[in-house]
Copies of this chain bind each other. A is one copy, B any other.
Amino acid sequence: MKPKLTIVKIGGNVIDDPEMLQTVLKEFGQLDGAKLLVHGGGKIASDISKRLKIPTQMVDGRRVTDATTLEVVTMVYGGLVNKNIIALLQSLGTDAIGLTGADANTITAHKRAVKEVDYGFVGDIDVANINTKKLSFLINGGLVPVFCALTHDKQGQLLNTNADTMASSLAIALSGEYDTELIYCFEKNGVLLDVEDDNSLIRELTYLHFQQLKDDGVIHQGMIPKLDNAFLAKRHNVGVTVKHALNLTSPIGTSLL
């Protein structure tokens, strides 16, 4: 039997709420077995960009990463956010170690090809190249990897990477060695029929149902890439749930079937 590994991804709105962050990190630390955290960046990167007078450009909810913006996200995701999460987890007794994909060459990516939009220094993960050997070395050594959403191309270039995709890519790559569970935590109860109504929670979601909800325009725009990532992991035998950050250890949430 493979050992258990729980991968938790916390979104930007969780990072921006110190109380919610503290709660989810506490519950995360208490999860049984091996674990790994992936975190988004939150509004801090946009805020710092603004104060540094660097314009923030978004296309379809994704940040366009020019050289200066890459510096900001490297500072904010890799430094400010990641290191404060590490210090907080350590204070809670969790032996966390902060990583980008460049650290220990864990995750390589390639710069996204320019089609209609030039996203700049944005990296698409090479899932087959994820360094599962080094990751399991760290995990089996009792460490809890905490990834910010940065990767590298192994040629010296850091790349901004979508945190949801990083979480599902890690879950897929590590599912060979671990019985892997992936939990997306954010500021909603899960996948909702009405984004304004936390009681409209879908408790179990099949891929067919997801496609239908997408066709009907029911699922919120920002939710679609997250669920695409989630179902991709599901197809690789990863157990996937989407839930509120305050419900990490509660059964309330959306389970993918």
Q: Does A103 contact B (CB under 8 A)?
A: yes
Q: Does A249 contact B (CB under 8 A)?
A: no
For A97-126 the 0/1 string (1 means CB < 8 A from B) is 111101111000000000000000000000
Given the known inter-chain contacts A86-B103, A97-B103, A141-B137, please indicate yes or no for A154 contacting B80, CB distance below 8 A.
Answer: no
A55 to chain B, nearest CB (A): 15
Chain B residue contacts of A52, Cβ below 8 A: 48, 51-52
Interface of A is mostly: helix
Chain B residue contacts of A87, Cβ below 8 A: 102, 152, 156-158
Q: Does A252 contact B (CB under 8 A)?
A: no
Mind listing 26 A-B residue pairs with CB under 8 Å?
A: A52-B52, A74-B84, A76-B79, A78-B78, A78-B80, A79-B79, A83-B150, A83-B158, A84-B158, A86-B102, A86-B103, A86-B152, A87-B156, A90-B102, A90-B105, A90-B156, A91-B154, A91-B156, A95-B104, A96-B104, A97-B103, A97-B104, A98-B100, A104-B143, A134-B143, A137-B141
Q: Please list the residues of chain A having a beta carbon within 8 angstroms of any beta carbon in chain B.
A: 48, 51-53, 71, 74-80, 82-84, 86-88, 90-91, 95-100, 102-105, 134, 137, 141, 143, 150, 152, 154-158
